[in-house]
Chains A and B, each alone.
Chain A
């Protein structure tokens, strides 16, 4: 029955759904996973690299991570060709904002601009939506370090930690249990029965190493590969240097391997304990 209402983006189905948009979101569930984690002093993004042929001769540093401006970067899950258009849009917007206000663009404004651009393809023109979800990581002086997720519908939200791409549900459930630490665990256990839990949980943000390790742990879970190696994943971090300027870093193969080794060691230690 949905058949009649799913070929055009500009038509609602009788249930009030936009099928083309939903199909676009489905397309991304086959794409390489991206994890984003907010840390105390930075943002970490880890991606599964799906294209790893030795015959590849890449000219760009990455097919997953892109710098948008001095203080923002993003990772891509979905159709890379579609992503290139949107990334260029984001770069232009950031540059034009800087040109007009002589100030760096606030993160949410950048994200919202890209998302508004995506939304237009769900309402006008008879063109298909972009098959891309982004994780945006950035810093501004208004809200510090931030992490945002966007999808083909043009919807976005800010996160402390999130996953997009293949097996994102498994990744998200792992993050729910492992991200941050709820303080006052013993007291709240009794209180839970009588008081309202009004978000009294204090979620403690991890530091950068902790965030990197958690990201690798999540990728281990979402990737089907039996052995994770540094050539299948790409780790990125955004931090501030002592001059207050943003540092974009894609970890080298050696550095990535070190994080993977640490995670494996901790997992082995936990296994022997229990």
Chain B
């Protein structure tokens, strides 16, 4: 058993036309046993910056607090918001600092930069980043999610279509994975604001 698969998670982020979407399941398990169906894994860092943390639940909570602290200090000192690219680098640096005793997290950063251009990045547990302009996935059902995204994704989708696409991709992926599912939530980030929705899926 891999420690990254202990609690279970499934997170996808996708870009659209001047928007990004980030979606996750909400299961918290202890291996086979499901403990909670409303465990949050995607966090708002700023109005147009979200981070999704897949992996060991205790590290999810710790990193959430650490990232909020780092962002708060940056904003107080620099008197401006952290751009998604900078935030992604902060996160990467944070993870590499623990190179020989890492956080068991494979995060995803999704946001809009100051010109409202979509930004996506994904990372492994020691901070190696990947920047794409289509989609990133993380968690215990990555094989399923890659398949679904590759098939369903199209460039420049409008927010409503993006919502449908990311939701279908997530739901179909987690249904074939024992460790993820049990509820899902989606956040669509546009320059006007964020729309967050709960998905109704199979609770098994």
Contacts and interface: CB of A to CB of B under 8 A. Distances in A.
Interface of A: 60-61, 67-70, 88, 91-92, 95-96, 98-99, 102
Interface residues of B, number: 9
Contacts of A102: 65
A99 B65 contact: yes
B76 A98 contact: no
Nearest to B73: A95
Nearest to A67: B76
B30 to A, nearest CB: 23
Contacts, number: 24
Interface of B: 65-66, 68-69, 72-73, 76-77, 79
Contacts of B76: 67-69, 91
Contacts of A96: 69
Interface centre among A95, A96, A98 (most CB of B within 10 A): A95
B79 A99 contact: no
A98 B69 CA distance: 8
Contact of B77 (A61, A91, A99): A91
A68 B72 CA distance: 10
B65 A69 contact: no
A103 B66 CA distance: 14
Given A68-B76, A91-B77, A98-B69, 16 more contacts: A61-B79, A67-B76, A69-B76, A70-B72, A88-B77, A91-B73, A91-B76, A92-B73, A95-B69, A95-B72, A95-B73, A98-B65, A98-B68, A98-B72, A99-B66, A99-B69
Contacts of B73: 91-92, 95
Contact of A69 (B66, B72, B79): B72
A119 to B, nearest CB: 24
B107 to A, nearest CB: 18
A95 B76 CA distance: 11
Contacts of B65: 98-99, 102
Contacts of A92: 73
A226 B189 CA distance: 53
19 contacts: A60-B79, A68-B76, A69-B72, A69-B76, A70-B72, A91-B73, A91-B76, A92-B73, A95-B69, A95-B72, A95-B73, A96-B69, A98-B65, A98-B68, A98-B69, A98-B72, A99-B65, A99-B66, A102-B65
Contacts of A95: 69, 72-73
A60 B77 CA distance: 9
Contacts of A70: 72
